[in-house]
Structure 1
């Protein structure tokens, strides 16, 4: 192996040992633990070059070295082979997720799984409505003057609204409205669907126009993006296992994670199903999160429905975390597209 490859092998060794022991790594330990086939003096020279390049640093109290954010980035960028989950792990993930009864349950289970597999904080964003299409709208008569609208999207999201009509409606009229609304909505993206619903009052018989106006107003409110995008968060206690990873800033990190806006920003890069994004330390634009790394991905089959990922210290098992995030997102995409 040439000098560059050997130096990268030394960096890999430092990352692996520091992640598992949380102790700065010295040249002697590298020679003993990693079969690099070179002397301690060569490793020391390589470490000097890595330090000069800003990839490793010396904590002032120690003879060993630890990776910097830049070092972790170089390591992650060279991860051509993501360590896949074992067959048993994959089967367990699949079985656990397939037991879910609805969208809420799928997302809750995903968070629990990710937090357990990675021992970090896991976060999943509910499917964003703008990227969904309408599968069906059910219109149910609760009383002759009261209807319930149940909007079901392709991502499995269900929105219910009860509407007081102020006038009595016969079953035939309810069936007529149901047919008209579904003809306007079914299979359309939500933005296009709200435009179609706005035209509804002009397309129904004159005696149903008032009711259609009420229904279309309620539906437009339901179809327009919910400002409070919902998130499911789990495993926050995992951060407290290694307080030393967050010198003076663990409380800041925990407070930032309570802010929906901050977490949505962390997931904003996750736009592509199948492509894992890793933001390391200083690369996070949210200041309170600069002692953390965020591994995120978009989930969905074909179209991205939302983002999911994990937040942990920069000292994390990147290959294992990337593999877990990738696998869980894939299964969630498959399950939601099959619903």
Structure 2
């Protein structure tokens, strides 16, 4: 494909995203200053159609991009539209005012939905990619303890423990000291091996309680159901029913956390922004959408975030927003460490 045909494809994508109407050769020739006649543009559009980059939705209409056309458009983007200075200040101020991790995630997902006008999805920092900052053990009664796990990303997990034998305050303090000595500062992925030795390292009279505590900690660290996501902007889909064809299955899929985890959290710790268009999405309900995702975290990736919308979306603006918000959230988590 020569540069002029690429310019014509860009014009088709940009005009279709802007107007939501099929694009004709005359409009491109007069509005995009390509320096060629409408007949030449028409010939280029015929070549693009034969090559599968654009299509005619119905007779006597202009052309619209195909998934293949969007893919080339994204791959050959010359520049990403940055957020304005006012937008950057507003984003920084809004996210910096968050009080805790839940607030950070909730503000982030609402902000992404507002900036992109798409459905936003944000994964909470994964336990498997976090480090234990502190463990608190609180005595709630003679036979009950509250375990609080705090990670370096600000994530907090709580568990209640019930025992048959009475636990006094001295036992609670001793166990709290022991588990912090062994686990504080350790990656959670290494916790199971450390915990397997914990009961034997406690005093004989505490081993029964330490065994119960170890079991609860393992449940907290290994339970994949504790991976959580937040969603905002589902109402934005109602404005794009036609491009997505059927919005109901998509809305139902967005209610399933495991589906969302597969959607935005690809295997590994990929930090690069990823754009999956149409059939590039493995999940059937999302084969008529575009999913833009990226990793975030203080140094290493601890979670993913992104947006879901129609293939007819503002790609430069969406990519810029997802990248910028991920960077701000990473900076906040770094400062809070």
TM range, smaller chain? over 0.9
Q: Distance in 2 between matches of 1:193 and 1:12?
A: 51
1:318 aligns with 2:285: no
Q: Distance in 2 between matches of 1:227 and 1:298?
A: 20
Pick aligned residue for 1:238 from 219, 224, 236: 236
Q: Distance in 1 between matches of 2:68 and 2:290?
A: 12
CA-CA distance at 1:270 after TM superposition: 7.6
CA-CA distance at 1:194 after TM superposition: 2.3
Q: Distance in 1 between matches of 2:296 and 2:228?
A: 15
Query: 2:289 maps to what in 1?
Result: 292
What is the TM-score with the length of structure 1 in the denominator? 0.94
Pick aligned residue for 1:142 from 135, 140, 143: 140
Pick aligned residue for 1:253 from 243, 250, 255: 250
SS of match in other structure, 1:199: helix
Q: Distance in 2 between matches of 1:109 and 1:62?
A: 46
Q: Deviations over 1:203-239 (max 9, x none)?
A: 1122222221221121111121333532111100101
SS of match in other structure, 1:207: helix
RMSD: 1.7
Q: Deviations over 1:263-320 (max 9, x none)?
A: 2221133855651100001111111211110001111122111111000000000000
Unaligned runs of 5+ in 1: none
Question: Is contact 1:129-1:225 (8 Å) kept?
Answer: no
Q: Distance in 2 between matches of 1:79 and 1:170?
A: 65
What is the TM-score with the length of structure 2 in the denominator? 0.95
**Alignment size in residue pairs:** 336
Q: Deviations over 1:147-178 (max 9, x none)?
A: 21110011211111122333333433322221
Closer, same or farther: CA 296–52 of 1 in aligned 2, 3 Å: same
Closer, same or farther: CA 252–88 of 1 in aligned 2, 3 Å: same
CA-CA distance at 1:49 after TM superposition: 1.2
Counterparts of residues 113-262 of structure 1 (less than 5 Å): 113-227=111-225, 229-247=227-245, 249-262=246-259
Question: Is contact 2:121-2:229 (8 Å) kept?
Answer: yes
Range with bigger deviation, 257-266 or 270-279? 270-279
Question: Is contact 2:265-2:303 (8 Å) kept?
Answer: no
Unaligned runs of 5+ in 2: none
Closer, same or farther: CA 209–236 of 1 in aligned 2, 3 Å: same
1:301 aligns with 2:294: no
Q: Distance in 1 between matches of 2:115 and 2:186?
A: 37
